[in-house]
């Protein structure tokens, strides 16, 4: 598998975000400043809570198909490859990892079979768009930790997605879960969210490597990143960590550590960095005050540009 130097662009865009001039300008900045070869787009499907059976993707919280098609085409015109990763979110703020139902159907209670039917409709809709627009990979789910045990349903979904999308298909499990998924054989690429704390990379990479070797599949971190706030390097997955002062140097140091450890593992075939906003969220002179995952005009941006130079991985 070719190396994937990707950044997630405009995470979970609301309707109208991808279709305006600010999104194009932001995408142009990503392409010119970071050295990225790919972007990952994450149209969201929304359910009311972690126990709702229905996923909706036709409202204001999701871009129109036309918006999505146009930004894919524009990214390709800029020389970027596109990976499509439709992602389920809960409107009440519950993390998608907690979506869960009884394993045995119970009358009057929500059921896995109904949820997977809705999820299949959502995923296959975007698999068709990915195929029609020339996306280079399709990721059929993200961080669905509680749902991952439903092996038969995931195998069925992967088989149906492969009938529609002819390129490689992946699934993005969460951090620490790489060795828990039992159906990696039915996708083409193993991927995970690599939000690992500073000082733990070698241990976690050793663990992940056993999975990659066992399944003999390509691997990449479909998500990885760190906020620019004090303490983020210890808990890079904690997006609520906003009480401390901004610390753009800590973010940059975390990225250096991540790249330095992973570049020696030939089986790590890339990254989907989190993230780059659909509109530049601050001016360059205010970048040191931003606490989020954005890397625009921060020291981390220069680190990424350096390591995204493929010659440095030889």
Least Cα distance to 259 among 41, 85, 82, 5 occurs for 5
Residue 71 φ then ψ, to 5°: -75, -30
Contact predicate 191/221, CB 8 Å: yes
Residues of the chain with pLDDT under 70: 310-314
The angle that helices 201-215 and 248-262 make with each other, rounded to 10 degrees, is 40
- Written as six digits, the tokens of 23 are 């999104």
pLDDT given for residue 310 in this prediction: 57
CATH number at residue 274: 3.20.20.80
Residue with tokens 């609301």: 14
pLDDT given for residue 311 in this prediction: 36
> Each residue of 172-181: pLDDT tens digit?
999 999 999 9
Contact predicate 154/116, CB 8 Å: no
Domain total in the chain: 1
Structural domain range at position 68: 4-313
Kindly write down the DSSP assignment for every residue of 256-280, as one continuous string: HHHHHHHTT-TTEEEEEEEEE-SS-
pLDDT given for residue 312 in this prediction: 43
pLDDT given for residue 77 in this prediction: 98
Helix, strand or coil for residue 226?
coil
């Amino acid at each position: 598998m070719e190396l994937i130097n990707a950044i997630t662009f405009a995470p979970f865009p609301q309707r109208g975000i991808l279709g305006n001039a600010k999104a194009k300008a932001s995408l142009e900045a990503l392409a010119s400043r970071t050295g990225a070869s790919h972007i990952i787009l994450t149209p969201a499907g929304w359910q009311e809570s972690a126990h709702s059976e229905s996923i909706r993707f036709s409202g204001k919280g999701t871009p129109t198909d036309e918006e999505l098609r146009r930004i894919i085409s524009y990214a390709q015109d800029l020389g970027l490859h596109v990976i499509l990763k439709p992602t389920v979110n809960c409107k009440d703020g519950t993390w998608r990892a907690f979506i869960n139902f009884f394993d045995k159907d119970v009358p009057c209670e929500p059921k896995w079979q109904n949820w997977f039917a809705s999820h299949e409709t959502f995923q296959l809709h975007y698999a068709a768009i990915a195929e029609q627009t020339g996306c280079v990979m399709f990721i059929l789910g993200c961080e669905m930790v509680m749902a991952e045990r439903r092996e038969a349903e995931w195998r069925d979904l992967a088989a149906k997605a492969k009938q529609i999308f002819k390129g490689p298909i992946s699934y993005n499990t969460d951090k620490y879960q790489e060795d828990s998924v039992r159906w990696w054989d039915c996708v083409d690429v193993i991927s995970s969210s690599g939000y690992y704390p500073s000082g733990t990379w070698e241990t976690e990479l050793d663990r992940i490597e056993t999975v990659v070797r066992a399944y003999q599949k390509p691997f990449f971190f479909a998500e990885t990143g760190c906020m620019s706030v004090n303490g983020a390097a210890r808990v890079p997955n904690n997006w609520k960590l906003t009480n401390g002062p901004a610390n753009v140097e800590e973010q940059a140091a975390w990225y250096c550590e991540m790249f330095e450890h992973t570049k020696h593992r030939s089986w790590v075939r890339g990254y989907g960095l989190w993230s780059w906003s659909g509109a530049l969220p601050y001016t360059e002179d205010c970048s040191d005050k931003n606490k989020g995952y954005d890397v625009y005009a921060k020291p981390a941006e220069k680190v990424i540009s350096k390591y995204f130079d493929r010659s440095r991985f030889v």
